[in-house]
């Protein structure tokens, strides 16, 4: 493998890591942000919903920008904006400043998420084997570190800007320095056909729709864990307040472990088998949570959820790249929107069902949705880019062009 690809992979992995840290620092300190700015409980959901909505706008915008601007350049400048917006959310004095900071964070994070995954898919194609899960594993590791730093800040009662400033001061220059090694995809020639035979120049939404549904259902499951695991363990399963904080950490750790080894599974058994297995394991996790007689059995359910859900999102991005090899950037930007759709739908859906019915019953809904993803597993089958199952290419086929200098 060439040094260009190795440097490109390492620099992109750092970008995923930095985004994991930033996102965790934001979402785990929401109560502190609410207290700092005096945001009411009625107004808080508006602020929280605005971030994924604006991220969706950013992803749509990215789909059009990449026609003229390389994804590497969009990633290079969107990542510092995300980090500086995080600092702004912790350093402002009024609600208006918080709104501006979160607005900038949302718009920039949509561009960042889309462009990161565009570069990941193009690097996977150049490597000729599955590597997407490794990028998302690094993101999970960044999330664990970010959540740990947030705990330190809360434990020592540090001001938000004091907690955020050292992280931003380290990550911004490091991300900018690493961005010089990003590797963009080399455009395909006019004779190279897409997997659907359309020539690869455009995205046929009907073909992309199954992957959009999988992305939505996966994030409904993920947001259920992140938003309701603590409340479920404490209010339904009768755990202590301290123990109720554990399931999400367990979920993040098992997500990291599953993604760390997931690429080997894809190479050995193929994406279809891995996605089906992940969906079944995640569904079993929700079932265990729904019927758990106590906190420790519930914890086992959340452990299964991390191992199952962790493979779905990275493989969905990879499948979109294979499905539209001549228009993978546009496909990924469009698919990325459904990341935020799932995030927006998941938490309110479970909350409404829990209040109207029961929280045990509410856990069965994401269980069914995750099971449905196994019906779409054929959409993950390799076509032109054949990863795993004895079809890996021995050497990189296409290095691509390096990112432009700073």
What tokens appear for 149 in the block? 């730093």
| Tens digit of each residue's pLDDT (9 = 90 or more) over 74-102 | 999 999 999 999 999 999 989 999 999 99
pLDDT given at position 293: 96
User: Which band of pLDDT confidence, cut at 50, 70 and 90, is reported for residue 27?
Assistant: confident
Q: How many CB atoms within 10 Å of residue 280?
A: 16
| Tens digit of each residue's pLDDT (9 = 90 or more) over 166-190 | 999 999 999 999 999 999 987 554 4
Confirm if 246 and 299 have CB atoms less than 8 A apart: yes
CA distance 219 to 360: 19
User: Which residues on neighbouring strands pair with residue 183, listed in sequence order?
Assistant: 402
3-state helix, strand, coil split of the chain in percent (to 5) is 75, 0, 20
Terminal C-alpha separation, the chain: 25
Going along the chain from its start, the domains and CATH numbers come out as: 1-186 (1.20.1250.20), 187-387 (1.20.1250.20)
User: Which band of pLDDT confidence, cut at 50, 70 and 90, is reported for residue 296?
Assistant: very high
What tokens appear for 145 in the block? 């570190």
With vertex at residue 11, the alpha carbon angle to CA 110 and CA 141, rounded to the nearest 5 degrees, is 70
pLDDT given at position 250: 87
- If phi > 0 it is left, if psi is from -120 to 50 it is alpha, else beta; for residue 183 that is beta
């Amino acid at each position: 493998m060439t040094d260009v690809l190795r440097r490109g992979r390492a620099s992109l992995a750092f970008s995923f890591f930095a985004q994991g840290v930033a996102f965790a620092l934001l979402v785990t300190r929401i109560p502190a942000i609410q207290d700092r700015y005096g945001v009411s409980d009625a107004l808080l959901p508006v602020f929280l919903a605005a971030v994924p909505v604006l991220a969706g706008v950013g992803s749509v915008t990215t789909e059009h920008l990449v026609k003229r601007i390389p994804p590497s350049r969009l990633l290079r400048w969107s990542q510092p904006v995300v980090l500086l917006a995080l600092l702004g959310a912790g350093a402002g004095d009024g609600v208006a400043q918080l709104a501006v900071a979160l607005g900038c964070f949302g718009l920039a994070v949509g561009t960042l998420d889309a462009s990161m995954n565009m570069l990941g898919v193009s690097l996977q194609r150049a490597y000729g084997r599955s590597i997407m899960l490794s990028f998302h594993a690094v993101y999970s590791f960044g999330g664990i570190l970010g959540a740990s730093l947030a705990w330190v800040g809360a434990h020592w009662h540090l001001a938000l800007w004091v907690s955020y400033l050292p992280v931003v001061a380290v990550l911004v220059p490091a991300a900018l320095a690493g961005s010089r090694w990003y590797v963009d995809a080399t455009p395909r020639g006019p004779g190279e056909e897409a997997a659907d035979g359309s020539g690869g120049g455009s995205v046929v939404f009907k073909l992309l729709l199954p992957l959009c549904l999988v992305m939505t259902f996966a994030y409904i499951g993920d947001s259920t864990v992140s938003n309701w695991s603590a409340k479920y363990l404490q209010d339904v399963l009768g755990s202590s307040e301290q123990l109720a904080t554990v399931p999400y950490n367990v979920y993040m750790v098992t997500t990291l472990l599953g993604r760390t080894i997931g690429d080997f599974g894809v190479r050995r058994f193929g994406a279809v088998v891995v996605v089906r297995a992940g969906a079944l394991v995640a569904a079993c996790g929700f079932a265990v949570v729904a019927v758990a007689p106590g906190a420790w059995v519930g914890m086992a359910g959340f452990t299964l959820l991390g191992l199952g859900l962790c493979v779905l999102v990275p493989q969905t991005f990879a499948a979109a790249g294979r499905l539209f090899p001549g228009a993978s950037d546009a496909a990924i930007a469009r698919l990325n929107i459904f990341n935020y759709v799932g995030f927006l739908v998941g938490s309110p859906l479970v909350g409404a069902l829990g209040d109207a019915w029961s929280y045990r019953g509410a856990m069965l809904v994401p269980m069914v949705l995750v099971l449905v993803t196994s019906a779409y597993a054929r959409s993950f089958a390799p076509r032109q880019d054949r990863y795993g199952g004895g079809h890996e290419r021995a050497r990189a086929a296409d290095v691509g062009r390096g990112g432009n200098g700073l």
